[in-house]
A and B are shown apart, each in its own frame.
Chain A
């Protein structure tokens, strides 16, 4: 088991290297010259050239990639072209709201979606099942920003129950922190809930038709025990897999959600950096998100052994 974990961690190295190459190349290939942006409208071509040289942008592609990778390995994500602050510092300042939003969304989504899917499978073909499925289709098809604005309008502007936008750090207390996160988390979680509920339902339907569920019933087990003890553990592998895969959507959604609710997180940082062509910041943030995604999926893989004793590494 430990050998497997170490092997899996080592296997993430080539993945991360390829991600790094992509992140680096993507910006290299995209149009727009940061030197020209920094130099401003009045700059002469000579000024732009000077700035380009000072940023090292005049060096060959591979040399720049090598230097960049070496810096990252030493923990240096570079310096923002715009603010002159180290990228790692900028990320540190912005990470708490994003992390909070993601964790709250994840917990919210899992605690709502899994019981929803389980009940839908149990009551297959009934009105309850159809309502859950209708909700799932709705969750898929309505974009995050639409849900976000509608929620903000109803619960913040009309009913005045929750703040319209902004973020309060958790150091200011749990409830103020939560108050600001509920609407963004619900908006962001919609697609995620729909996805997890659908997979839970499908996976449970398959498990509920198995012989061992009939055995559990013949033993006199009550319905909740059949659903959540006997069946759910068997249905868990596809569910945690989709939670892992859906995490990518959560990252993308966080960028949009933070804009809608004016949350000063990594998503906003990314959007601002892209608008300013602040290459080091864009690269740093994308690299961080990729790393988080690889890590989450590693955890998902490892969690399989907890659910199914037949899976051995």
Chain B
């Protein structure tokens, strides 16, 4: 496939993904999700752009309140409007989701794009059977009969590794453990073979052994179903394990984007460096390294006022007057690696191709 065949080649604020010929499935273009509140407009997501290719796993990382969950909810248009307001474009297979009618949007939700939420304990309806909840999407989007939907629900439960699926399908969520419920959520999400799966902190609420099982399951199923995944998380361990490419968000903006190995090896933005520095290293005390974790001082700034300079200026260890006055643009610092920082060095291999 030639480059020109691809739908919507990434713009300047996204890296030119060289060597990746998979079709672009989702392109988020300058997404702004704002909330009108009593004391002003909260710019939860303020001009974020990224893309996901078919079958790719993209991680979106950042600390609490950086807008990653709002970004995820925006893609499925699950933000209540009002008080929310979305602008920009979210192109899925070339169609702008923000321009679709409610009915068209409903036919995409749970069918072509589905979502897994953070809280498996509360995300399932307590008064409906597991089978009914899995079957609902099938009946809705594939017009299955009650019986067909239940048969397929049993099949899905088996696929996500739930023992005795024939019995479980008739049970209610309270009869299942947290890990099992997240498996059920995955079964619901994958029932219609979606092209894109958005997983919003799918393992955060689970204990560590279950986390690993769920991640393995997601990776296996991704290969079986062939879905692309947008993984929203603050857990860098999870990112390293499953993601191909990473978008780092801070205060409603994208501050860095790179392939996963490149990002871990060579973080450009001071915020990413801080995030990576705050991860405990196994055995660090044995080798005589300092055992105190590096933290990023300060708090995420309020998103109610426009920030004139760099969003990270208030917490950056190497902040200058330039940072406080002028917002740095996203710039390619290394091949396929962009960051929004005035001082991150541009590597020689790209300095000739992109004007600073």
Contact = CB atoms under 8 A, between A and B. Distances in A.
Contacts of A217: 78, 109
Nearest to B118: A211
B110 interface: yes
B128 interface: yes
Interface on chain B toward A: helix, strand, loop, or mixed SS? mixed
A211 B140 CA distance: 20
A123 interface: no
A220 B117 contact: no
A218 B128 contact: no
A229 B127 CA distance: 10
Interface string A204-219: 0000001110111111
A187 B114 CA distance: 49
B131 to A, nearest CB: 13
Contacts of A310: 126, 172, 174
A234 interface: yes
B78 A212 contact: no
Among B107, B124, B125, the most chain A Cβ lie within 10 Å of the Cβ of B125
Interface on chain A toward B: helix, strand, loop, or mixed SS? helix
Give chain B's interface residue range (CB within 8 Å of chain A).
Answer: 20 to 34
A215 B111 contact: no
A220 B78 contact: no
Contact of B122 (A211, A218, A221, A309): A211
Contact of B140 (A215, A221, A308): A221
A220 B110 contact: yes
Contacts of B107: 220
Given A211-B123, A230-B125, A221 B76 contact: no
A235 to B, nearest CB: 10
A177 interface: no
Contacts of B136: 216, 219, 221
Give chain A's interface residue range (CB within 8 Å of chain B).
Answer: 20 to 34
Interface in B125-157: 125-128, 136-137, 140-141
Contacts of A220: 106-111, 137, 140-141
B338 interface: no
B219 to A, nearest CB: 22
Among A210, A218, A234, the most chain B Cβ lie within 10 Å of the Cβ of A218
B258 interface: no
Given A211-B119, A310-B172, A310-B174, A218 B125 contact: no
Interface of B: 76, 78, 106-111, 114-115, 117, 119, 122-128, 136-137, 140-141, 172, 174, 185, 188
Interface of A: 210-212, 214-222, 229-230, 233-234, 307-310
Given A217-B78, A219-B140, 5 more contacts: A211-B117, A212-B122, A220-B106, A233-B127, A308-B126
